[in-house]
Amino acid sequence: MRDDLFDLTYFTHRDARFKADAKVSLQELAEKIDTEVAETKELLPWVKLAVFGEFKSAKGSLRHDDNVRHITGCEADYDQGKMSFDEAATKLRAANIECILHTSPSHRPDNPRWRVLAPTSKPLPKEQRAGLVARINGVLGGIVAAESFVVSQSYYHGHLEGAGEYRVELIEGRHIDLASDLDAGAIGKSGHKDDGNGHDYERADLTELTRRILSGESLHPSVGPIAGSYAARKIPIEACLDYIGLAFTAAHQPRYGGRWDDDVVRYVRWVYAEEARKTVTPPPAAPSIWIRGDVLTSTPSTPQEWSVRDLIPARQVCLFSGHGAVGKSSTALNLVAAHVLGRAWLRYDPRPGPAFFIDAEDDTDVIHRRLDAILSHYEEGSPSLEDLHILSLAGKGAVMATTNRNGIVEPTPLYHELYQRAGDIKPQQIVIASSANVFAGSEMDRSQVTQFIDLLTKIAILTNGSVILISHPSLTGLNTNSGISGSTQWHNAVRARIFMKFVTNGGDEQDNSDLRVLEFMKNQYGPPAQSLTLKFKNGLFLVETDGVSNLDRLAREEKATHKFRTLLARMLDQNRPVSAKPTARNYAPKSFESEPDADGLKKFDFENAMKRLFVDKIITVKQYGEPRKGWERIEFV
């Protein structure tokens, strides 16, 4: 029996408004199923061998097909009441399938109902799930319920208090995704005749399905295709229920007792709702908003906002490219940490606030080590990084946008999850590494590139921050020093672009592996920035100035800014006003220099700090005392 862990999801209620992610072994899952007990079926939890995102349906449910990020196994349900638990176990064991076989809450010895949970050897795309269920269905003779093929289908697990028979069995074998020899006998949805284009409902064999209901051979697996056939042909649901109801009543099957309202009617309504969702006509596009020039210029224009002052504009996307292992991710992680800590980044001042760091290439251990180096650089003894939100997608499904057959770029559930979370938290900066992992379209297609950047811009506008997309240049991009890969639209579509590269000796060889050049290739709304030479030191890249690290200057500026704010707060608390006027006796920089805890900072240090704080609108000047005297003091905004 395998002891390795795999991911799954628990839901506490059928509405699935909340979920609990877990990592368990097959043995642990079997023990949980065996010990779970409740008074009624509705109080039992649900389980699903899959990982879900945070994108809720219109009804607020997390449990729907679009929200499944990847699967870690498949489930098959049997409710026909004929094949015994032991017979199913024998068939699964003979097929050498590793799985859990357990009776469902409504099982009785004379009316067997059970389920199969078969984990996969690794996380797989959800599109592969139907084929895995078909393998199990073939082993069992084509008897599993049709809803077993629904991607997000989850099931109650556990048993009811006082239940007569409840069984859980672990079956050793191979993972279901490794059992390719079972494809020859695989059976898809029972009663369907698939035309290969997904329109199987329209070709359902109604005569055969009705016979199965009448004979008691099949209820759920037959009701679904019948309802789908009626719904696909736009036949009213009342007529469908009448047809199924006649067969249901004529069957005189004891095991059908009490299942009309709870099972059949609910299932038919669900099928109709799904069919309606497929064929819904999108609403007409909202009319474009045209603005007359005189109306636009009738009010003062607003100044340009920056996520990183004079470098990365707010509400826009910045492309950050560079050769593999050049240091893009660690440098970008330094930036988001600077946003959260309110510190300088290289020679620039990021706007303080929350930040996201999404990395599809490195795991959390790597990110953790890099953060330790960053915090050590800033000399943060007890840092508060609660506003830094990190998501590692290394080895997981990281695609945020795909394309359909018409070349239209479509967002995935992961994109919707990011959009929703960004709207809730409003990060100043979002770093995504890298474009090859998150964009499944063609990097050579100008239209697709533009559409993808538009999706990221939508997030930047929502947060009033910026999005930095990390990318890898092609060989041509490296040789021509353009720093891009694919279409030139990558350069045109973004409003800022950074290129990080190795320092060379004039040829192709690296002159010093510790040195990098950071070139600012585009700044749509500000002055061109000078290139920076960086040197790797103590785990991160820092600015080099004539061979001497700029760390001391940056550290002194940060120290002065922090000390200015500390001393100002104390002065205000002690009712000791300080002025921004150089001629005043209580001129703030001069007063602060004379304080015993000025830590060696001089008047000019505090003057520069005061200028930065005024520019950042952290401090202001207000009048106090008698108006006729015109006294002014510095206060916090």
Output the domain CATH number for residue 483: 3.40.50.300
Are 49 and 29 a contacting pair, CB within 8 Å? no
Q: What are phi and psi of 327, to 5 degrees?
A: 115, 20
The whole-model pTM stands at 0.48
Q: What are phi and psi of 523, to 5 degrees?
A: -145, 90
Neighbours of 378 (CB within 10 A): 18
Which among 531, 549, 567 is the end of a domain? Answer: 549
Whether 559 and 545 map to the same domain: the answer is: no
- Tell me the pLDDT band of 627, cut-offs 50, 70 and 90: confident
Are 621 and 580 a contacting pair, CB within 8 Å? yes
Are 178 and 132 a contacting pair, CB within 8 Å? no
**Between 528 and 378, whose confidence is greater?**
378
Q: Is 533 exposed, middle or buried (0-12, 13-18, 19+ CB in 10 A)?
A: middle
Within-domain flag for 296: no
pLDDT in tens, 425-468: 999 999 999 999 999 988 888 999 999 999 999 999 999 999 99
Which pLDDT score, from 0 to 100, does residue 507 have?
43
Kindly tell me if the per-residue pLDDT of 367 is higher than 80.
yes
Establish how many alpha carbons lie within 13 A of residue 222's alpha carbon, considering only the half-sphere containing its beta carbon: 22
pLDDT in tens, 485-519: 888 899 999 999 999 998 764 444 444 567 888 99
Within-domain flag for 287: no
| Number of domains observed in the structure of the chain | 4
Whether 275 and 390 map to the same domain: the answer is: no
- For the chain, give the mean pLDDT: 86
Whether 240 and 209 map to the same domain: the answer is: yes
Tokens of residue 512, six digits: 């010093």
Q: Which domain holds residue 601?
A: 554-636
Q: How far apart, in whole angstroms, are the C-alpha atoms of residue 116 and residue 89?
A: 10
- Tell me the pLDDT band of 284, cut-offs 50, 70 and 90: low
Which pLDDT score, from 0 to 100, does residue 281 have?
59
Q: How far apart, in whole angstroms, are the C-alpha atoms of residue 613 and residue 126?
A: 51
Kindly tell me if the per-residue pLDDT of 288 is higher than 50.
yes
Which pLDDT score, from 0 to 100, does residue 14 have?
82
Q: How far apart, in whole angstroms, are the C-alpha atoms of residue 532 and residue 512?
A: 15
Within-domain flag for 298: no
pLDDT in tens, 215-235: 887 777 788 888 888 888 788
Whether 163 and 215 map to the same domain: the answer is: no
Whether 582 and 594 map to the same domain: the answer is: yes
Are 516 and 326 a contacting pair, CB within 8 Å? yes
- Tell me the pLDDT band of 404, cut-offs 50, 70 and 90: confident
CA-based nearest residue to 422, from 374, 488, 362, 356: 356
Q: How far apart, in whole angstroms, are the C-alpha atoms of residue 73 and residue 129?
A: 8
Which among 238, 265, 280 is the end of a domain? Answer: 280
Instruction: State the DSSP string of 523-560.
Output: ETTSPPPPPEEEEEETTEEEEEETTEESHHHHHHHHHH
Whether 256 and 315 map to the same domain: the answer is: no
Which pLDDT score, from 0 to 100, does residue 496 have?
95
Which pLDDT score, from 0 to 100, does residue 549 have?
43
Whether 572 and 621 map to the same domain: the answer is: yes
Q: How far apart, in whole angstroms, are the C-alpha atoms of residue 10 and residue 33?
A: 12
Whether 433 and 524 map to the same domain: the answer is: yes
Q: What are phi and psi of 411, to 5 degrees?
A: -70, 150
pLDDT (average), residues 277-297: 76
Write the single-letter amino acid at 459: I
Whether 371 and 487 map to the same domain: the answer is: yes
Which pLDDT score, from 0 to 100, does residue 107 have?
87
Kindly tell me if the per-residue pLDDT of 362 is higher than 90.
yes
Determine if residue 353 is left, alpha or beta; phi over 0 gives left, psi from -120 to 50 gives alpha, anything else beta: left
Q: How far apart, in whole angstroms, are the C-alpha atoms of residue 399 and residue 452?
A: 12
Tokens of residue 419, six digits: 């959009």
pLDDT (average), residues 283-298: 82
Which pLDDT score, from 0 to 100, does residue 505 have?
46
Q: What are phi and psi of 154, to 5 degrees?
A: -120, 165
Are 219 and 191 a contacting pair, CB within 8 Å? no
DSSP 399: -
Stretch among 85-94, 282-291, 357-366, 389-398 having the lowest mean pLDDT:
282-291
Within-domain flag for 299: no
Within-domain flag for 343: yes
- Tell me the pLDDT band of 282, cut-offs 50, 70 and 90: low
> What percent of the chain is predicted at pLDDT more than 70?
91
Q: How far apart, in whole angstroms, are the C-alpha atoms of residue 134 and residue 150?
A: 12
Which pLDDT score, from 0 to 100, does residue 195 have?
36
Tokens of residue 339, six digits: 């946003």
Kindly tell me if the per-residue pLDDT of 60 is higher than 90.
no
pLDDT in tens, 248-262: 888 888 878 878 876
- Tell me the pLDDT band of 350, cut-offs 50, 70 and 90: very high
pLDDT in tens, 17-53: 889 999 999 998 999 998 888 888 888 899 999 999 8
Within-domain flag for 285: no
Whether 435 and 515 map to the same domain: the answer is: yes
Which among 166, 190, 214 is the end of a domain? Answer: 190
Which pLDDT score, from 0 to 100, does residue 283 have?
61
Kindly tell me if the per-residue pLDDT of 197 is higher than 60.
no
Neighbours of 182 (CB within 10 A): 20
Which pLDDT score, from 0 to 100, does residue 6 have?
92
Tokens of residue 552, six digits: 């001391």
3-state secondary structure of 499: strand
Whether 265 and 311 map to the same domain: the answer is: no
> What percent of the chain is predicted at pLDDT more than 90?
49
Which pLDDT score, from 0 to 100, does residue 219 have?
79
Stretch among 55-69, 169-183, 292-306, 602-616 having the lowest mean pLDDT:
55-69
Q: Is the peptide bond before 180 cis (omega within 30 degrees of 0)?
A: no
User: ∠ CA(154), CA(156), CA(159), 5° rounding?
Assistant: 160
Q: How far apart, in whole angstroms, are the C-alpha atoms of residue 499 and residue 479?
A: 13
Q: How far apart, in whole angstroms, are the C-alpha atoms of residue 5 and residue 170?
A: 15
Neighbours of 94 (CB within 10 A): 10
Within-domain flag for 624: yes
Beta strands in 291-351 (DSSP E): 306-308, 312-313, 316-322
Within-domain flag for 314: yes
Whether 513 and 379 map to the same domain: the answer is: yes
